[in-house]
């Protein structure tokens, strides 16, 4: 009797096997001539060579489906097992070209406004893009989605997310814990976006192995960031020196996205924002894209738009 061993290395066996191994039981139904055993992170199948070859091919299709969409259920399994080609089981919902990436449980993440769609297009055409606008316009979230897509499509080998550790009216030094524990809450929006798009076990593995790195901007000094999708968030709080340092870290096969809100600068008075300066200095440089989002792009609670508009009146922020 021949044996086939399939090891699940990049996905959660628990989710792939299904609740109480329901997905494995369905595989057994479609391959009654095989003995199929699922334990730990391995699927073992025993039987005739020709049946094992077909089983291997179908499992590979299922794994590709799960890797792409972070979702697999009875309907997906049956479509894949009964299909003759990929086109037979790729549904219009899954094949929607507006979807940037499929998040946890298959949730589609897509650009929701005209400017967000322009941001996605700019990122396709340029290696460096500045996305500027008020809070809630989806700058960071869209950027993280594009980074996850690039990693999934093997266009880059790692994702690097960074922020300048500027205290927004609070003192980080008084927070308990070591440096990482002090800074983790500050980086929370980046973790939140990633948790929406990558299953928890896989995300933890990526962070542990350095495939995904989240660090303060100061940690970028001296590095060459190649084969990476890099996002500098809250860039309005960079100084001239910090922004120049960051932009010159760009290595081969790298994508840089810089996001920020010039209306929320937490730098000391008379210190020029590195973001504002960079937008002027680089506006005519080929290969650099710039997109300005506004309150029409806000996708949080409807009151956020009203808040932004009200403050704009008294702050005279364009």
Tens digits of residue pLDDT in 134-146:
888 889 999 999 9
Other CB atoms within 10 A of residue 108 CB: 14
pLDDT value for 97: 62
Specify the DSSP element, H or E, that contains 315: helix 302-315
The counts of H helices and E strands in the chain are: 13, 11
Other CB atoms within 10 A of residue 188 CB: 11
pLDDT value for 92: 47
Among residues 75, 79, 97, 81, which one has the least CA distance to residue 89? Answer: 79
Residues of the chain short of pLDDT 70, as ranges, are 84-97, 166-184, 186, 299-302, 305, 315-318
Other CB atoms within 10 A of residue 4 CB: 18
Q: For residue 236, report the phi and psi dihedrals to the nearest 5 degrees.
A: -65, -20
Domains of the chain: 2-89 (3.30.1370.10), 99-315 (3.40.50.300)
Q: For residue 234, report the phi and psi dihedrals to the nearest 5 degrees.
A: 55, 40
Where do we find the tokens 């055409």? 125
pLDDT value for 169: 41
pLDDT value for 173: 52
Tens digits of residue pLDDT in 77-133:
888 888 766 555 555 455 556 788 888 877 888 888 888 889 999 999 999 999 999
Among residues 32, 40, 48, 53, which one has the least CA distance to residue 12? Answer: 40
Secondary structure of residue 110 in the 3-state scheme: strand
């Amino acid at each position: 009797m021949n044996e086939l061993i399939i090891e699940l290395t990049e996905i959660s066996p628990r989710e792939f096997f299904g609740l109480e191994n329901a997905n494995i039981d369905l595989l057994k139904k479609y391959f009654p001539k095989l003995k199929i055993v699922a334990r730990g992170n391995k699927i073992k199948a025993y039987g005739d060579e020709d049946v094992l070859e077909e089983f291997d091919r179908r499992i590979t299709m299922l794994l590709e489906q799960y890797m792409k969409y972070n979702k697999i259920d009875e309907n997906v399994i049956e479509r894949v097992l009964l299909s003759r080609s990929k086109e037979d089981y790729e549904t219009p919902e899954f094949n929607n070209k507006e979807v940037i990436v499929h998040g946890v449980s298959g949730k589609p993440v897509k650009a929701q406004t005209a400017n967000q769609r322009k941001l996605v297009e700019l990122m396709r055409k340029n290696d460096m893009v500045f996305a500027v606008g008020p809070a809630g316009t989806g700058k960071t979230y869209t950027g993280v989605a594009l980074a996850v897509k690039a990693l999934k499509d093997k266009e880059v080998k790692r994702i690097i997310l960074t922020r300048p550790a500027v205290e927004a009216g609070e003192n980080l030094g008084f927070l308990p814990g070591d440096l990482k524990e002090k800074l983790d809450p500050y980086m929370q929006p980046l973790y939140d976006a990633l948790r929406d798009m990558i299953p928890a076990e896989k995300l933890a593995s990526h962070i542990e192995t350095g495939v995904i790195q989240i660090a303060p901007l100061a940690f970028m000094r001296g590095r060459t960031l190649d084969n990476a999708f890099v996002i500098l968030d809250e860039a309005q709080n960079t100084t001239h020196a910090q922004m120049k340092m960051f932009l010159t870290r760009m290595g081969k096969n790298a994508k840089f996205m810089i996001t920020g809100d010039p209306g929320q600068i937490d730098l000391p008075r008379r210190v020029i924002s590195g973001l504002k300066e960079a937008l002027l200095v680089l506006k005519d440089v080929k290969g650099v894209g710039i997109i300005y989002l506004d309150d029409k792009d806000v996708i949080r609670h409807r009151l956020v738009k009203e808040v932004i508009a009200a403050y704009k009146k008294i702050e005279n922020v364009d």
